């Protein structure tokens, strides 16, 4: 399965990166297993603040607010959030206002490249081989119908029309967009950030940081 739109598929961090996670966040990867590829509604390891400290749990790709009528399908269309409008859209604005900022850690994420005339699934990853931390927002609540904890997230995106790498992806004529990649030195700042700090970190990756 591949959905040829803004980042809808990624390869989540692998278990052998446990020491990397421990070093940067002082927490452990989840004990439960996760799938080798993540699509909307799948779960993947997610870094967020719990009681003021970084934690890593499995979370569903595709943010689901507590008021969603069909919680099982809602995340199929909310896996990305535009940074230009995230503060005003009903689905995302509470998570944004309450500064629920998190990071999903990827080995690589995928976008469609049309340079050959057809959509070619292309993996994008850090040039130095370390996991890619993608800026996200999250929701976590107890589903009153099932009693289960529903933990979900959406990746934040920015315009990439002029980025040397990310402008290569998506259909000709469509706006080019990119997920927001957070560098190592800024990862903990992102988790604890106020809105001014977050806005400063919402930017395209520097040239050469990502390769495809």
By DSSP bridging, strand 149-159 and strand 101-113 are unpaired
Tokens 């259909």 locate to 171
| Alpha-carbon span 140 to 37, nearest angstrom | 22
How many CB atoms are located within 10 Å of the residue 39 CB?
A: 17
Q: What pLDDT score does 5 carry?
A: 52
- CA dist 173 and 175 (Å) reads 7
Q: What is the pLDDT of residue 141?
A: 96
Q: What is the pLDDT of residue 2?
A: 35
For 152, other C-beta atoms within 10 Å of its C-beta total: 27
Tell me 77's DSSP state.
G
Torsion of CA 90, 96, 98, 100, to 10 degrees: 120
Q: Residue with structure tokens 């589903």?
A: 143
At residue 64, the pLDDT reads 97
In order of 10, 168, 208, the CA distances from 36 in angstroms are 9, 25, 26
The pLDDT tens digits along the chain (212 residues) read 333 456 899 999 999 999 999 999 999 999 999 999 999 999 999 999 999 999 999 999 999 999 999 999 999 999 999 999 999 999 999 999 999 999 999 999 999 999 998 999 999 999 999 999 999 999 999 998 889 999 999 999 999 999 999 999 988 899 999 999 999 999 999 999 999 999 999 999 999 999 99
Domain boundaries, the chain: 10-211
- 10-211 topology per CATH: hypothetical protein yedk fold (3.90.1680)
Nearest-angstrom CA–CA distance, 41 and 9: 11
């Amino acid at each position: 399965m591949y959905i040829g739109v803004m980042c809808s598929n990624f390869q989540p961090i692998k278990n052998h990166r446990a020491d990397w996670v421990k070093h940067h966040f002082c927490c452990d990867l989840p004990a439960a297993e996760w799938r080798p590829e993540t699509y909307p509604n799948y779960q993947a390891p997610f870094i967020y603040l719990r009681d003021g400290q970084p934690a890593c749990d499995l979370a569903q790709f595709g943010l689901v607010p507590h008021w969603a009528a069909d919680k099982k399908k809602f995340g199929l269309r909310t896996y990305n959030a535009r940074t230009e409008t995230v503060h005003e859209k009903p689905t995302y604005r509470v998570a944004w206002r309450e500064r629920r900022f998190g990071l999903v850690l990827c080995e690589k994420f995928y976008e469609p490249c049309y340079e050959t005339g057809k959509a070619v699934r292309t993996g994008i990853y850090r040039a130095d081989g370390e996991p890619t931390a993608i800026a996200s927002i999250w929701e976590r609540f107890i589903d009153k119908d099932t009693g289960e904890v529903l933990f979900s997230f959406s990746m934040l995106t920015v315009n990439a029309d002029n980025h040397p790498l990310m402008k290569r992806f998506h259909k000709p004529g469509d706006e080019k967009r990119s997920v927001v990649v957070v560098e190592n030195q800024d990862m903990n700042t992102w988790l604890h950030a106020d809105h001014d700090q977050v806005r400063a970190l919402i930017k395209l990756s520097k040239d050469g940081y990502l390769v495809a």
